[in-house]
Structure 1
Amino acid sequence: MVLSLVSLCARVVVSDHSSSPCWLRWVPRELFRPLLEAAFSGCRPLAVGELVQRWPERSLCVGGRRKQGQTSPNRLCIQALLLAVVRGLSDQRCALQVLDLCGLQGDEGGMGDPMGGWSLTVALCTMIVQARAGAQRAQRKEGERERKRFSALERERDIKRERGQWKEASSAGEKNARPSEVLGEEEVIKGVRRRMETERKKESASTGGTGSTKENEEKDIGSDVLVHVRADLFVNARSLERAHMALSTSGPLKLQCRYLRVEEISVSSIRTLLDLLPRRSLLGIDVRYSSLGVAGLAELLPLLSTFPALNSLRLHYCNLDFRRDHPVLEEALKGLSQGLAQLQELRRLSLTALRLPGQLRVLLSSLPQPLEILELPYLSLSPADLAYLSCSHHASTLQQLDLSENRLDEKTLPSIRRLLSQASSSLQHLSLSGCGLTDTLLGLLLPSLGGCRTLKSLALALNPLSMAGLMDLVKMAVRMPSLRQLLYPNPLEDYQPGLPELPSSAHLLDWPLNDTTDINTTSSQLNRVLIDSRRNDLFLTCDLLNYDKDLVN
């Protein structure tokens, strides 16, 4: 990545924090962005805080998709940013009104100590609550100063009025002096009493009744949002209470959620969170490791239909086993189908390990719009499921398709070839990892794969291919001009002896590689095909853990 001259100069400027008082006041607004990027890349949290506290523009976007080679911002820099946003609420130099942190979170424990999704959510919720408490304290102090100022003005006015009465009494002559003095004293007493009653009424109006002070403060704070904070939230049982408090808090910072990820919480808790979210901001929900059951999912889907912009639904390991609920299978499927039919804008559907053999038609046929992203790993798909999918209204619009860990054989191969033919002009990412593809099956499938003219990434890890089958795969891949990444399996020759004749993906994942075989030899032979074909834009890898299809975008 080549840095511009402005970026290089910005790195030098933010590297020395002791010089910031000299240059910060003179920085033009168009240089704040490159300086902030340099502070993030150089892990300069103090510079991040000072720049954000004086941010001169209406909006600040820190998240978003990162370029290849870029790492997530450092944890300390993110914490400095959040603290600076709170300090900027009382800084007249700060013009910030919208803070966009969507896509900011990194992987927990990754390179550079990034802030993961759960940690970022907790930090954001803490910032929202602290900003509200600070606004309440400032409002109470301002109210106390205003009451003292008003009382002082009242006392000054009463004193001037009393002095004027004494002057009138002294000028009336000796004869009427005595009664006037008595009358003046009575007026003084009445003035003091009137002043005390007025102050008492003001105090009772501000503190009396049923806690009206707190209600008025919340109403005043909620009606004056200074900064809208947009973020992707990750909520589990440990952070549920904190997230609930932040989302229900009215104050100078308003939290909006774009994508909500929940783990190991009940349907009732998910319902509570959804009720607190603005209806038009939520784009997707990701539910993981929650025992929804058929009834829970049927209850959840109508709630999701109230979010008009929702286009992504992901359910991973949610204990939705229809085989155990066989007595109520028909009724449950009918409820799920009706619930999915209400999701008018759904474009992405991910169902992982839900065990739905033979029921794909019932679910997908009810969707009003064709899907663009369909992920069905570990779903035990039957030949009937794949036959329906190849002829469905979703086939010609699919951009991403994941059929990993669904075993393919001679019966399902015609459906897969028909599906690839239907999606040949739209499909960009395809995963068939762990599908049991042998050399023979792959050979029959290669013409259909080669016909996908828009395919950018192809994942075929954990399939039992020999070195000969792998070479055929790579020779086909180099003839696909749009392909940028290929995740290939280790050939069977690289494993230690003892594998079954048709090993499963679990066998290939756990079985040790042969120490006497140099894995680099396999990589060299495959890369030789790339060199001979002059395809230096195609990346080959067998690293399943670090494979990321999004890098090609």
Structure 2
Amino acid sequence: MDSLLLLCARRVVAQHPLPTLPAHLYPVLFQAAFLDGRPLALQDLVATWPFPELHFKRLVGHLERWSDDPFSDCINAVIHAMVVKLRRELEEPDHQSSRCQLLVLDMTGVPDDPDESCFCSSTKALATACVELSKHQQEFQRHRPEQHNGCSGAATAALQPPGVDVLIDFHVDKNSYEILYDALQTRAAGPLRLKGREFHSQYMSASSIVTMLESLDPSCLRRVDLFCNFFGYPELLEILPHLSRFPELRSLKLQDIGMYARNLTPESANGIQDVGRQLGMLSSLRELNLTGTLLPGNLSHILCNLQAPLESLELAFCSLLPADLIFLSQSIHAPALKRLDLSGHDFSQGLLEPLQLLLMETSASLLHLDLMDCCMADSHLDVLLPTLLRCSHLRVLRLHGNPLSTAAVKDLLQRTLELPDLHLVVYPYPMDCFKPQPPNSGWDFIKDKELFAAAKAEFSQILVNSRRTDLIWTDNLDGHEDLDFSL
């Protein structure tokens, strides 16, 4: 339910132009203008922002449908207002009283669609604004030489507007690469300076990624996500040495490296060892995601050189062997892990006991556990549950895609109610809630919605009776924001 203050703010931002407003109302007015899709009001607010910083996501919160057109228009409106503000300051440097106070615009956490198929690319829009403002600044200075005649260096610098630092999560592909590269070349002297906290790339060559990484401010970057499912270890080894220039890099995602190789060759085994040595150079690394990377029997080579324990480790569909889980349970990382993802491994085939050993070592710290699509039947869950219940701080448990019965899911619910911090459980569609189909129908089984509705009603009643309606118990994978351990 909206607060009375927010309801009043929504009435105010419906006006245009906005009336003169006290500074303390700006945050709630910004939130109301964004939620109601009022780009003109947002432009007015940004143009007169009375504080040195504006944190976009802190004001608008987490939204499930950022891709709606009104939200896209609002983000573009904020960028446009910044351009107008900085152009005015370039052209009227002596009018100090007319300036707003904004020096830092934080747009980190804003979703981005690099190919602009369903949403504007804020990376591309900001990069374009940065380049255009830099060109305008150069043109203006070229045609106003009298501003600098007779001025000392200090006096000339005093005439320059301070500019705005924009904190952003870069999303880069072949469509945004060139304009972003140009924008980053102007960051020191331009009126709009882009500073990347995260770097996400997709479908780019290793050499292009290296070029972009060399252009980034080394003091800001905290996360790198390389979605490059056509990469092998040689391409990865071309990139990794350039990550050591980022002292604050805490999170690294290397998804689907060498995923098309059916077996590890001697060359790829050597590549894994070299990757491990390069990862050891990243002294601040706390999150590592290797989803889809073929690593049977080689996890120790990846992790043994890391200088500090990891807090988050995602190893989904990595073809791990029992020896890999045993190594991990005996490593420095196990007692520090807050997130562990072992989805896509068959725990009916010799991995269950090593998993128990690992969970015992992580039990004091583990907050988030993913065991999806692990061929885990009722008997395997029954063996695992006592160890799972030792993870007393667990907040998130995902078991989607396992062949469990309604009775097993119900037992899981009843027994995990004793975990006080548990907030979200994603359970699989129970096997006994499918019904067989006639021969030649094209399907062996389909979902029996009536049976499943009855099972869901029983689960909900257990939660109500236990006064745990705060616990989200669902079969839906979507719409749940992940915990973030790197920030």
Smaller-chain TM-score bracket: 0.7 to 0.9
Contact map agreement 1:485 1:549 (CA 8 A) in 2: no
Mapped to 1, the partners of 2:370 and 2:426 lie a distance apart of 9
Alignment of 1:314-333 (within 5 A): 314-319=253-258, 326-333=265-272
Alignment of 1:427-506 (within 5 A): 427-497=366-436
Task: Report how many residues are paired.
Answer: 463
Are residues 1:137 and 2:139 paired?
A: yes
Mapped to 1, the partners of 2:191 and 2:63 lie a distance apart of 36
Deviation at 1:384, TM superposition (A): 0.9
| Equivalent residue, structure 1, for 2:338 | 399
RMSD over aligned Cα atoms: 3.0
| Equivalent residue, structure 1, for 2:453 | 520
- Please, which of 124, 127, 132 is the counterpart of residue 125 of structure 1? 127
Deviation at 1:126, TM superposition (A): 1.0
- Please, which of 447, 453, 463 is the counterpart of residue 530 of structure 1? 463
- Please, which of 83, 97, 107 is the counterpart of residue 101 of structure 1? 107
Are residues 1:539 and 2:472 paired?
A: yes
- Please, which of 178, 181, 186 is the counterpart of residue 241 of structure 1? 178
Deviation at 1:331, TM superposition (A): 3.1
Q: SS at 1:17's partner residue?
A: coil
Percentage of pairs with the same residue: 35
| Equivalent residue, structure 2, for 1:208 | none
Mapped to 2, the partners of 1:340 and 1:486 lie a distance apart of 33
Deviation at 1:484, TM superposition (A): 1.1
Deviations 1:251-306 (A, max 9, x none): 11111100000001111101100110011111010000343311121222211111
- Mean alpha-carbon deviation: is it higher for 243-252 or for 70-79? 70-79
Letter in 1 for 2:166: V
Gaps of 5+ in 1: 151-215, 500-509
Are residues 1:14 and 2:13 paired?
A: yes
Contact map agreement 1:284 1:312 (CA 8 A) in 2: yes
Contact map agreement 1:229 1:255 (CA 8 A) in 2: yes
Deviations 1:142-183 (A, max 9, x none): 22x669x99xxxxxxxxxxxxxxxxxxxxxxxxxxxxxxxxx
- Mean alpha-carbon deviation: is it higher for 439-448 or for 84-93? 84-93
Q: 1:64 to 1:55 in 2, by over 3 A?
A: closer
Contact map agreement 1:265 1:290 (CA 8 A) in 2: no
Q: SS at 2:51's partner residue?
A: coil
Q: Comparing both structures, which one devotes a greater share of its residues to helix?
A: 1
| Equivalent residue, structure 2, for 1:192 | none
- Please, which of 36, 40, 43 is the counterpart of residue 34 of structure 2? 40
- Please, which of 273, 277, 285 is the counterpart of residue 338 of structure 1? 277
Gaps of 5+ in 2: 90-97
Q: SS at 1:393's partner residue?
A: coil
Contact map agreement 1:56 1:96 (CA 8 A) in 2: yes
- Mean alpha-carbon deviation: is it higher for 427-436 or for 405-414? 405-414
Deviations 1:73-97 (A, max 9, x none): 8111111100111111225321211
Q: 1:277 to 1:516 in 2, by over 3 A?
A: closer
Letter in 2 for 1:51: L
Mapped to 2, the partners of 1:288 and 1:305 lie a distance apart of 19
Q: SS at 1:256's partner residue?
A: strand
Deviation at 1:442, TM superposition (A): 0.2
Deviation at 1:372, TM superposition (A): 0.3
| Equivalent residue, structure 1, for 2:95 | none
| Equivalent residue, structure 2, for 1:87 | 84
Q: 1:290 to 1:467 in 2, by over 3 A?
A: closer
| Equivalent residue, structure 1, for 2:169 | 232
Mapped to 2, the partners of 1:338 and 1:125 lie a distance apart of 35
Q: SS at 1:282's partner residue?
A: coil
Contact map agreement 2:64 2:479 (CA 8 A) in 1: no
Q: TM-score, normalised by structure 1?
A: 0.78
When Rg is computed on C-alpha atoms for both structures, the one with the higher figure is 1
- Mean alpha-carbon deviation: is it higher for 273-282 or for 490-499? 490-499
Q: 1:126 to 1:262 in 2, by over 3 A?
A: same
Deviations 1:97-123 (A, max 9, x none): 11111102267999xx9846xx11111
